[in-house]
Structure 1
């Protein structure tokens, strides 16, 4: 049976909308976490806003989101077979389901100041599990620079050109079938070592059931547990995924190379390990990811000490 494309996709005309949020939304602060580094061909920022591509249930889409107008309204346009889907998802993407009202940071000077300076910060909910999970796997236990380059290579080789008037070079992430067709040597050539490529392939083998399990979970913590049933997916990868796909407000990226040190220095002036970070964040349980985002948005300068993680080339080993 041939799928029937929406009229907008057949005509090439954009689907346009103006979102009027109930509270202030900072587009850059809210969507900034979605791009995977400066080479990511799914995301491009300019002075007016952001271009972002999506692999939706209806097909490829390009979304253009402008920075808020003077009255706080946010204009957006989308192209491609998935345009109507991504426009319908825009409010959640811009944090409409993310309620900060119960978060009390009045007792901490740094957090209180950051919340005051960043009133439009929200947690973005993409609703696209695989698009968040695969790059998180690629980022496991390597430098950000290595992971960003690997992700960009794979999308340049296997991604679909972005529909509509997107900037040149933008790509839409591959379909599930296309991801499954990536041979082992191309994972290697992209700089993804066998351990990470096996984890990616394990996810791809069960992707539809994994999406049903996380989508049907009673709680977001149950969704995190479901992700971790796949070999190679631990708490760090589950956290990095669900923070983006589901706007998980509490899940912390335990095991991150720098995060515990950063949180410790910001909150008590000294480095801590993962257990110490969780102890510091415990008073804000239920909001711990929001607190982490406030720390990252605060302007606090993390003091790097000791050796940096060495950049490795996994392509030729």
Structure 2
């Protein structure tokens, strides 16, 4: 397997995939899972009016599974304790500078994520130029040094994968959950330690904008086995509380 570019289009209700590069065959083989074919939305039983309405409004919502750990893990590390915009900027700058051009007829400046060795060789000033502090940069470097062990987690259950990822210092429950939600399509992996999520879930399900992680998990308990899907439906419903001053940090608390 190597880098590849995948183009997906729909023709007469049929999905068509085209791929280029050394990883083309792998991408086409995994296309069904990349589009959520391994997910089963019918397994979700809504127990709240908002979730029932959103689930009915979005019957085609499926959770994808990429089967790639580092491609979800590194962006999640970059998102620790910063805004989404700052993390996206860092990812964009580093991938464009150190990744190779995407193969095939890809859009201009599209690049493939750098290989683990390339991440390990990025000089400290380039991390700072991208707005990445030493703690997050060091966590990425520790992860890519054991890249093979990280990618092995793709063949584990989500729970086992999270335990494997959290062996790396700087990777805690927040980052491991954000990773397996994408790499594994983990329908029950709840993100804890987030700045806004508990208040969003608390407001949607109980009118409690001051909910913390323990309250959020209690509210999600009826959806055990499908808690991540419940959270996704809440986020897609658009029912969020008004912005308030933050009460807790974002990311992996105490692991940095």
State the TM-score, normalized to the length of structure 1: 0.75
Residue aligning to 1:232: 170
SS of 2:3's equivalent in the other structure is strand
In 2, Cα distance between equivalents of 1:158 and 1:167: 17
Q: Please identify runs of 4+ aligned residues in structure 1 that moved more than 6 A.
A: none
Q: Out of 236, 239, 248, which is 1:297 matched to?
A: 236
Q: Gaps spanning 5+ residues in structure 1: where?
A: 1-57, 310-317
Does the 8 Å CA contact 1:118/1:297 hold for their aligned counterparts?
A: no
Kept after mapping to 1: 8 A contact 2:203/2:240: no
Aligned to 2:5: 62
2:193 is equivalent to residue 255 of structure 1? yes
Q: Gaps (5+ residues) in structure 2?
A: 249-256
* 1:18-54 deviation digits (Å, cap 9, x = unpaired): xxxxxxxxxxxxxxxxxxxxxxxxxxxxxxxxxxxxx
Determine helix, strand or coil for the equivalent of 2:138. Answer: helix
Q: Structure 2 residue aligned with 1:95, among 36, 61, 67?
A: 36
* Residue 279 of structure 1, CA deviation: 0.5
Aligned ranges for residues 152-301 of structure 1 at < 5 Å? Answer: 152-212=92-152, 214-217=153-156, 219-271=157-209, 272-301=211-240
1:210, 1:226 within 8 Å by CA — same for their partners in 2?
yes
State the match for 2:61 in structure 1. Answer: 121
Could you tell me whether the CA contact under 8 Å between 1:124 and 1:247 is conserved in 2? yes
CA contact (8 A) 2:67 2:154 kept: no
**1:299 positional shift:** 2.7
CA RMSD of aligned residues (A): 1.7
Deviation at 1:304, TM superposition (A): 1.2
Contact 1:134 1:200 in 2 (8 A): yes
Between structures 1 and 2, the one with greater helix share: 2
Report if aligned partners of 2:5, 2:19 keep a CA contact under 8 Å in 1: yes
Aligned to 2:253: none
Distance (Å, rounded) in 2 between the aligned partners of 1:240 and 1:304: 23
In the alignment, is the contact (CA less than 8 A) between 2:80 and 2:136 conserved in 1? yes
**Separation (CA, whole Å) in 2 of partners of 1:267 and 1:223:** 29
Deviations 1:165-199 (A, max 9, x none): 11111111011221121122211221110010111
Higher strand share: 1
User: Is the 8 Å Cα contact of residues 95 and 111 (structure 2) preserved in structure 1?
Assistant: yes
TM-score, normalised via structure 2 length: 0.92
SS in 2 for 1:98: coil
Aligned residues: 248
